[in-house]
Structure 1
């Protein structure tokens, strides 16, 4: 095979790879915004989300709480490739290990401090202790967590996503609150069914 043919095949493969990467995000739209089927016109209320007001008016909750602002809560985000969330961490609370299959996450700490980490595809753990004003990025699809190690002071963070619907897959819930057979879980984790049952009971408590 000649060098020119090899070069042509390489360029075609690169073009295919680039096109697939471009398709990996939210679909592009050909209008300014997308209206739900039941609406023909909207005003500023359609683009407004008030679900985070409790962040400034309510007391700190007793356990970790996330306030989402994605396409489900704010339909105006459909087609905009962006969404967000507010996360509240009482003392010594954790946002359990999870992934976002459709977006990276950019976390901004606005109060307190957080220990954060993610695991890459080679099982390498990357950790950091964030202070108020710090930002941290969790790469798309990778398992990650946030933990407030301070027993006395809460922490609050804001997350931004590059998708109107980034999705959240909580590993504890997905594995132990699903209908996966206990024997399969026991074999997967090299333990016994009794231990699996105990983990499930703890998650339901």
Structure 2
């Protein structure tokens, strides 16, 4: 009887551990319906259509790096669908600064121009590549990465797909220098002085 109780306790413990592991590795939750409808929303073809990218057609190219997103925030029909898009526009010489997407990997398809791209893994190894139009590059989930249009004369444009309706973006420079982290702490962390940190912070003031 005692032996059976021990076995049941062991099985219950294993089930808890496995359940915790599954939760910790989950992406978007699976849904139990075809799609999720927000309250007070009319469902027809319009609900499943996103027109926010129309501004790209015939519009002026931006003078600084710009991202147009089609994520759950902009396109509610994506809720529960585990997918989202972004169109990235890189003027000549511009950069998409180091950042992460905590909830999704990113698959970038370069439509036009050239880009230098890279990401850093958890052992601090840097993986880089120079992309030409037609190339695809994957940025693994949660890892710090960047894109740089090194061409000083020509722009570039890319489309990124994400394995989440809400991939999230954490900009490393902005998260570090455009928040209320104490300048003294940052100075010690970056092995520099407070004056240097404050100069960097001033560059983020609108």
Q: TM-score, normalised by structure 1?
A: 0.89
Query: Shift of residue 56 of structure 1?
Result: 2.1
1:24 corresponds to which of 7, 23, 26:
26
Aligned to 1:55: 56
* Cα distance in 1 for residues equivalent to 2:47 and 2:26: 27
Query: SS of the counterpart of 2:57?
Result: helix
Query: Shift of residue 202 of structure 1?
Result: 1.8
Task: Map 1:108-187; keep pairs closer than 5 Å.
Answer: 108-187=109-188
Query: Shift of residue 204 of structure 1?
Result: 2.8
Measured against aligned partners, the alpha-carbon deviations of 1:39-70 in whole angstroms (never above 9, x if no partner) come to 2x411111111111122221111000000110
Aligned to 2:91: 90
* Cα distance in 2 for residues equivalent to 1:173 and 1:56: 30
* Cα distance in 1 for residues equivalent to 2:166 and 2:160: 13
1:121–1:22 CA distance, 2 compared to 1 (3 A): closer
Measured against aligned partners, the alpha-carbon deviations of 1:69-98 in whole angstroms (never above 9, x if no partner) come to 100000000000000100000000000000
Structure 2, unpaired ranges of 5+: 1-6
Query: Shift of residue 20 of structure 1?
Result: 1.3
Query: Shift of residue 124 of structure 1?
Result: 0.3
Query: SS of the counterpart of 1:150?
Result: coil
The two structures, once aligned, show a CA RMSD in angstroms of 2.0
* Cα distance in 1 for residues equivalent to 2:205 and 2:134: 35
Query: Shift of residue 19 of structure 1?
Result: 5.5
Tell me how many residue pairs correspond in the alignment.
195
Q: TM-score, normalised by structure 2?
A: 0.89
User: Is residue 188 of structure 1 aligned with residue 189 of structure 2?
Assistant: yes
1:186–1:116 CA distance, 2 compared to 1 (3 A): same
* Cα distance in 1 for residues equivalent to 2:60 and 2:163: 30
1:37 corresponds to which of 39, 55, 61:
39
Structure 1, unpaired ranges of 5+: none
